[in-house]
């Protein structure tokens, strides 16, 4: 049972801070690393895999620093986000090359085991540049598994994969997590993480924003104040009525017309809005969420109770 530990780990590139003082523990099972694009997920994974040294703090595997620790590399498998640049190789050649780089005693047998695990034996003699996106992802996964690592790190493994291939990859990760491996995969989609991970670590702008199971993270996200844009036949009268509602935190009149409404209790707001409009003889012309981007959710988590 392998455990990855980050203790106040930071990484900067010149004046750019990619990861800022992150502490977390990743143990056996599946952990989702959730964050918007540019949050620092890839840099974190590179440090966990031993490809980058932390600029400050430590990144350890079972208590030993990973950077320049050869034994740790033999325990870790990495599936990078970037596309394969070895399209001229067959899938089998690509996986076997990694088996040989690891100095395995029987690279051929290890290659066949890894291909079978990801169900890529049949197309293994085709060139990688003829593979679909999902097949290329599975080829990368086979290469990462060829030395039977206890730790598997996957950077956005479901990007661009069709729904059928996504379900196949998810089932494969669940099975490996149940075997006792330590798996961490990154994603910017909460629902994707929900389907696979038992534990979630949230990062944004290089900082640790939240930690917990899916229910904990979902509650943090749904409990945050929500912003709605409302257009009506009488904005001022509607604004006055909304300000008396306990579910409404604030109302702002837009210069171009319409209202910005900050809502604490979406359920109560959804029930009361049509009643207020009917009582005041007001027609609701438009009601749209104005801050439902993932970035806004993470920004709340960073500044909120997490």
CATH number of the CATH domain containing 137 = 3.40.50.300
Question: Tokens representing 131?
Answer: 């593979």
Same domain, 280 and 139: no
DSSP string computed for the chain = ---EEEEEEEEEETTEEEEEEEEEEE-SEEEEEE--TTSSHHHHHHHHHTSS--SEEEEEETTEE-TT-HHHHTTEEEE-SSPPS-TTSBHHHHHHHHHHHTT-S-HHHHHHHHHHHTT-SGGGGSBGGGS-HHHHHHHHHHHHHTT--SEEEESSTTTT--HHHHHHHHHHHHHHHHTT-EEEEEES-HHHHHTT-SEEEEEETTEEEEEE-HHHHHHHHHTS-EEEEEEES-HHHHHHHHTT-TTEEEEEE-TTS-EEEEES-HHHHHHHHHHHHHHTT--EEEEEES--SHHHHHHHHHHS--
161 lies in the same domain as 92: yes
pLDDT of residue 293: 47
pLDDT score recorded for residue 250 = 92
Question: Which of 190, 221, 252 finishes a domain?
Answer: 221
- Whether residue 161 sits in one domain with residue 89: yes
Are residues 178 and 167 part of one domain?
Answer: yes
For the chain, give the mean pLDDT: 88
* Domain termination site, one of 173, 205, 221: 221
Residues 98 and 199 in one domain: yes
Which strands, in side-by-side order, build the sheet including 56-61?
A: 16-26, 4-13, 56-61, 64-65
Give the pLDDT confidence score for residue 166 in this predicted structure: 85
Number of structural domains in the chain: 2
Same domain, 286 and 258: yes
Residue 123 · residue 91 · CB < 8 Å: yes
Q: Residue 291: its pLDDT value, please?
A: 55
Question: Could you read off the pLDDT of 1-58 as tens digits, one per residue?
Answer: 799 999 999 999 999 999 999 999 999 999 999 888 888 999 999 999 999 999 999 9
pTM for this predicted structure: 0.74
The list of the chain residues with pLDDT below 70 reads 218-224, 290-306
189 and 268 housed in the same domain: no
Pair (85, 108) in one structural domain: yes
Which of 159, 189, 221 finishes a domain? 221
- β-bridge mates for residue 237, sequence order: none
Is there a single domain that holds both residue 271 and residue 127? no
Residue range(s) defining the domain that contains residue 215: 4-221
102 and 118 fall within a common domain = yes
CB 201 within 8 A of CB 292: no
Do 51 and 191 reside in the same domain of the chain?
A: yes
Give the per-residue pLDDT at 296.
Answer: 55
Do 156 and 254 fall within a single domain? no
Predicted local distance difference test score (pLDDT) of residue 153:
97
CATH number at residue 267: 3.30.70.100
pLDDT value of residue 278 = 92
What pLDDT sits at residue 49?
Answer: 95
């Amino acid at each position: 049972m392998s455990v990855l530990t980050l203790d106040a780990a930071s990484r900067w590139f010149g004046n750019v801070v990619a990861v800022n003082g992150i502490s977390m523990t990743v143990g056996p099972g599946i952990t989702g690393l959730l964050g918007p694009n540019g949050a620092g997920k890839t840099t974190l994974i590179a440090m966990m895999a031993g490809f980058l040294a932390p600029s400050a703090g430590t990144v350890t595997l079972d208590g030993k620093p990973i950077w320049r620790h050869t034994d740790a590399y033999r325990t870790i498998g990495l599936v990078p986000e970037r596309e394969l640049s070895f399209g001229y190789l067959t899938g089998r050649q690509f996986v076997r090359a990694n088996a040989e780089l690891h100095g395995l005693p029987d690279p051929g047998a290890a290659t066949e085991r890894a291909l079978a695990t990801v169900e890529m034996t049949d197309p293994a003699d085709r060139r990688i540049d003829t593979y679909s996106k999902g097949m290329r992802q599975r080829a990368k996964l086979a290469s990462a598994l060829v030395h039977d690592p206890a730790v598997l790190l996957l950077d956005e493994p479901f990007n661009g994969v069709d729904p059928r291939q996504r379900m196949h990859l998810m089932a494969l990760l669940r099975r490996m997590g149940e075997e006792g491996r330590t798996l961490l995969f990154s994603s910017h989609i909460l629902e994707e993480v929900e389907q696979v991970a038992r534990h979630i670590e949230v990062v944004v702008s290089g900082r640790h924003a939240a930690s917990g199971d899916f229910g904990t993270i979902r509650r943090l996200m749904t409990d945050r104040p929500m912003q709605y844009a409302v257009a009506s036949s009488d904005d001022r009268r509607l604004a006055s009525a909304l300000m008396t509602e306990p579910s409404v935190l604030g109302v702002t009149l837009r210069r171009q017309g319409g209202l910005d409404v900050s809502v604490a209790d979406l359920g109560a707001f959804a029930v009361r809005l049509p009643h207020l409009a009917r009582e005041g003889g007001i027609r609701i012309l438009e009601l749209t969420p104005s801050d439902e981007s993932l970035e806004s959710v993470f920004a709340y988590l960073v500044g909120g109770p997490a």
